[in-house]
A = this chain, B = another copy of it.
């Protein structure tokens, strides 16, 4: 058996390429949308991809299952569990098979057994993998967003991101049952390979370890005690508390992954715009996504541009803040454009219509800068009450310690909370170190705010000066 974990760092997303060497066939589980990596793997190993499977209808990225099936002629294996809202659609023209708990997919010596594991979502399935050439029992459990390393999938994602009220608690109870009946009944030695690693918004406290075992989680996971004692209520409460904010684009991903997304066929890199073409695109409503780092953006940028630095969190912030209904132009170095476009396509942002390599020759008139204050200057403003402090970190970071009286709006959500931000006095925006505040400020400046200043160095700089910190909710939050 060839077992390969293919990991995409931007989305912290794991997919699996499993091949039978004797038969020369392979299956891919949970592929991402830019599928060349799987085609390359098949070619390198002299294998043919004959099956593509999904653990569930993903919310955080656009699935590549249909894309890969189209390119290779492989059969799709998709969950037939869950109610009407969770049934795949638009599968005409594909060779597909809907599967249920207990069904098996065979690939030469290899067998994948479907295990229905609802909780994160109702239709969620996992796959027990047996390498028949090596063992008489399954040794691997592909758990998707069911069990992570040291954590489990969150059942509240759609309630949080798409406002599907009342779905979180039933999901948590289903999760309890799935753990008890499906996970903990497996032998200790079975390896657990999940659909996400550290950094994903799909779980609470994901560690930076790729895999775990049933026995290890049984003993050391945070939820292990609740299961051992049968404390379902405690489990539900713990699971639903303290989950991080979820991006709004998740609802869109969910729908597209269920109903079908455009098949790319080929991934063409957009071309460099001439200055004339660039002006034309802007005048037609395109948004300039400035992917330079925060320092360059602060030093000078084009009015109206949003700053999402090309870095490991690029796709995450793009998902939070970029619109799905506008054309996008990237400001990026030519060497990086291809990779950035891939990152956008992974979450369905397909509307990149070109790029510009820099501002020289493209910017007309004066550039806009981001005003900066040092921690000392911010403290002076804060003491006199002359400025609002806007903390754009996550709620958990905020609760762990913030500038007294600071308001908290997650950077990805500022555009949905415009009325909570004053326009009549200075607003000092900060995060931990300055990346998120740059992104949030750029989005707000694009929305017309001209009273924002950035706290250079973020709350880290504030703390280094020994300035006061408050823990827990502030009065402001309580009232909000």
Contact = CB atoms under 8 A, between A and B. Distances in A.
A139 interface: yes
Given A296-B295, A359-B295, A191 B211 contact: yes
Contact of A300 (B43, B48, B72, B298): B298
A137 interface: yes
Nearest to A435: B360
Interface in A342-393: 358-361, 366-367, 369, 372, 374
A456 B135 contact: no
Interface in A262-278: 266-272, 274-277
Contacts of A190: 213, 216
Interface residues of A, number: 79
A215 B218 CA distance: 15
A441 to B, nearest CB: 13
Nearest to A359: B295
Given A191-B191, A216-B139, A272 B36 contact: yes
A457 interface: yes
23 contacts: A2-B209, A3-B210, A21-B208, A43-B361, A44-B312, A71-B277, A72-B274, A72-B276, A136-B220, A139-B216, A187-B215, A189-B215, A191-B211, A191-B213, A211-B211, A266-B271, A267-B271, A268-B268, A293-B296, A296-B296, A300-B456, A366-B457, A366-B461
A267 B270 CA distance: 9
Contacts of A150: 134
A277 B74 CA distance: 12
Nearest to A461: B366
A328 to B, nearest CB: 16
A188 B191 contact: no
Interface in A208-229: 208-216, 218-220
A212 B139 contact: yes
A270 B211 CA distance: 37
B372 A135 contact: no
A215 B216 CA distance: 12
